[in-house]
Amino acid sequence: MKFGKSESKTVKTSSNSINFKVIAVIGALIVVDLIYAEYFFDPEIFNIKDGLYMAGMATCGIFSILVARRYRGSAMLGKAYLFLGLGFFAWFIGDLGYYYNQFVLEIDPWPTPFDAGFALNYVFAIMHLYLNTRYFKPQWNAPMKATIILIPVIAVSSFSLIAYDAWGEYDELIFDIFYTDIFVVGMSLTLAFAVVGASVFRHSILKETWLLLAVGIFLWAVADIIYYYLEAIEAFTHNHPINTLWMASFMIIIYALYKHHKAI
């Protein structure tokens, strides 16, 4: 499906190509982040790596809002990028609460009321991906529908079995598994929509830009999946390499949104 008049007039197709020098820089920064986490990062305190993590998340939100403003004449795309921006700001609030509980109050940061930010993050991300994919492909085929169903079913059932086996028997076991499953559903749906979006965006006029964005969201969802499974077996640490995967997703998303903004 092509852009409507308000979108197609403003797209600079010459800005679509991916600059692989930027990708190389992102790759180098990922290596630096891994080395820093392994040899220089103190997981017991809030330090520069945590600050960059939060800054990356906030920058994704800011860039999303800027793209939404450029699309304000669109009936759908402006709304889609506004949702993406709101998702990152909701995530920012959730992690702000996480850090506050962990480093200031020195209590278990999960669960807390701030968890609502994580849940809203998934809701907004799914809305963004859904609006974009349905815009470019109004009629979904059977594989696309199966992807949306199967990934969450596999993720939730697998996590529930692993958590039940790892956590043992205690009074609030079922509640804790059910509570965590809420976030696993959101994360796995985000992953499923990112997979579907990647297959749809490759046929669009801004295919390189949207594919970059889909890849960034995919990495973020994969990182979240790994996080929940690590938490289930109590293997997650504050300097775990999974944090670098989140940083990689932020950098790719920021680059995609920058290209998107310049191409409009």
Q: pLDDT tens-digit profile of 111-128?
A: 889 999 999 999 999 999
CA triple 43-182-223, angle to 5 deg: 40
Using alpha carbons, select from 257, 172, 190 the residue that is nearest to residue 228. Answer: 190
pLDDT tens for 139-185 read 999 999 999 999 999 999 999 999 999 888 887 888 889 999 999 99
Say what the pTM is.
0.89
What is the pLDDT, as a whole number, of residue 109? 77
Contact in structure between 97 and 109 (CB atoms under 8 Å): yes
Q: Using CA atoms, how far apart are residues 130 and 82, in angstroms rounded to an integer? A: 13
Q: Supply the DSSP symbol for 257.
A: H
Give the contacts of 105 (CB within 8 A, at least 6 positions apart).
none
Q: Is the Cβ–Cβ distance between 119 and 106 less than 8 Å? A: no
Token look-up 């998340």 returns 57
- Average pLDDT value for residue range 32-61: 90
Residues 6+ apart with CB under 8 A from 242: 223, 226, 227, 230, 236
Token pair of 242 as six digits: 């999974």
